[in-house]
Amino acid sequence: MNWRKIVTVSFAVLGLVFMWGRSQANAQSGVPKSLVPGHADVPIGSPQLIPLPELMQKGIALLQKKQTAQALQVFQNAAALYPYSFEAQITLAAVSLQTGNYKMSADAAQSAAALNENSARAYEVLAAAQNGLNNYSGALAAEKKAIVLSPDNAQMQMDAGQFAMQTDHYDEAARYFQNSIGLDQANIVGHMALGDAFTQLNENEKALNEYSAALNLLDQLPTAASAAATQIRYQIVTDEATAYSNAKQYSKAMLVLQSLPTSVQNTANTLSALAQINDQKGEHAAAIAQYQKLLQTKPKDAITWGNLGWSQYEAGDLKSAFQSSYKALSFNKTLSYVKFNLGLFYAVQGNWGQSRQIYSEAASTAAPFDIAAGIHDLRNALKRQPANSTLKEALKLLVAAHEHAVLSDFNHSSGM
């Protein structure tokens, strides 16, 4: 199996730190003073230290001067001195998120959420930090809590959908994207994302409808001719080509890609889409050449290495397939589809020990969708090697793992 593209997530959580000018009372809000030993605005250890409002104003002034590292240090000090101040914790969480200190951000956001469990923004920042740590399940769990507190927030619905995509829960992702579109009818990105979810679910007609809706909305914008809008249009057209290819309408897929300007046809997104179309058509040598061309400019792209490994397997070059797949995992150890591919490669070789180990590891954390894709690949391999007993054992393992994963998902969604 291969992976079409990386999902990007946009967050509306960083406008959190300029809230202090309104009132000191607001700045100290977030936890009833009766619940803590002392007041939120009293520093731990010494009441003679810098007052919290002064610290916050100093940090904000540094941010406005783009002295981010110094500002972060001030907010760290504020959070340490005033551990019962919700605003001190949430501000540290937001600023450390902005600077890429995801562990610090997650810790501060969790502290903020503990101080005020009714704060949607605390869970939203926590979700963004978990995403930065590549903990997509944790990000989705936090975003769900934010949505419970703020169900009419279209951006939160979008973010939850993106996290569900990252964890390969495409049905769930589609529901969140549909919610977001329902809350914001002009949500171009929502239609694009919903199209991506439908493409992953192989519901290609629905995907094409969503891409068409995104294009129609884009054309209605006053800035439809701008450079940014043009780039979005190119992305939508590339996604349409992928949906046509998934539906085995290869001629339409190629025509759609060929409608793009020549300069765009040589970009990473278009080359990746073209490679996957060639794979689906059985033209694996062409796909390999396109992935290798991509890697010349993006040598550490784990997705491309993983997709190259699959193309090499389909072309019968198992040795190169192993090398490319392990290269992919060296850049991103979380790619479950690459692990499933390696399990298959070892099974094709008849190496049950290695195949079982890798399949078991991958299946223990994979979504049912990924396991089902692994089962599909094993059945295709058995058509080529019907006497391969290792493939048969691997199929039994994954079928049992899929049943367990489906049951776990059901129990989780029903609160059992």
pLDDT of residue 56: 93
| Among 33-42, 160-169, 216-225, 366-375, the least confident range | 33-42
Neighbours of 199 (CB within 10 A): 25
Give, in order, the Cα–Cα distances in Å from 278 to each of 3, 251, 273, 288: 14, 11, 9, 9
Q: What is the CA radius of gyration of the chain?
A: 25
Q: What is the pTM of this model?
A: 0.76
At 20 the pLDDT is 39
pLDDT for position 167: 85
Q: For residue 97, what are the contacts with CB-CB under 8 A and spacing of at least 6?
A: 13, 14, 105, 109, 125, 128, 129, 132
Condensed to tens digits (0 to 9), the pLDDT of residues 309-340 reads: 999 999 999 999 999 999 999 999 988 899 99
Q: Using alpha carbons only, what angle is made at residue 149 by residues 144 and 155, rounded to the nearest 5 degrees?
A: 60
**Tokens of residue 253, six digits:** 């897929």
Per-residue pLDDT reduced to its tens digit, 268-290: 888 889 999 999 999 999 999 99
Sign, Cα dihedral of 172, 190, 308, 301? negative
Asked whether residue 26 carries a pLDDT value surpassing 50, the answer given is no
Report whether 218 contacts 236 (CB < 8 A): yes
Q: What is the pLDDT of residue 405?
A: 84
Record the tokens describing residue 181, joined without a space.
């579109």
Question: Which helix (H) or strand (E) element contains residue 399?
Answer: helix 389-413
Q: Which residue has the higher pLDDT, 405 or 310?
A: 310
pLDDT band for 47, please (50, 70, 90 cuts). very low
Average pLDDT over residues 86-94: 95
Please give the distance of CA 315 from its chain centroid, rounded to a whole number. Answer: 30
Q: What is the pLDDT of residue 366?
A: 85
Q: CB–CB of 176/170 below 8 Å?
A: no
Helix (H, G, I), strand (E, B) or coil at 135: coil
What integer is the mean pLDDT of 39-57?
Answer: 68
For residue 69, count CB atoms less than 10 angstroms from its CB and return exposed for 0-12, middle for 13-18, buried for 19 or more: exposed
Average pLDDT, the chain: 87
**Which residue did the predictor score with more confidence, 389 or 10?**
389
257/303 Cα distance (integer angstroms): 21
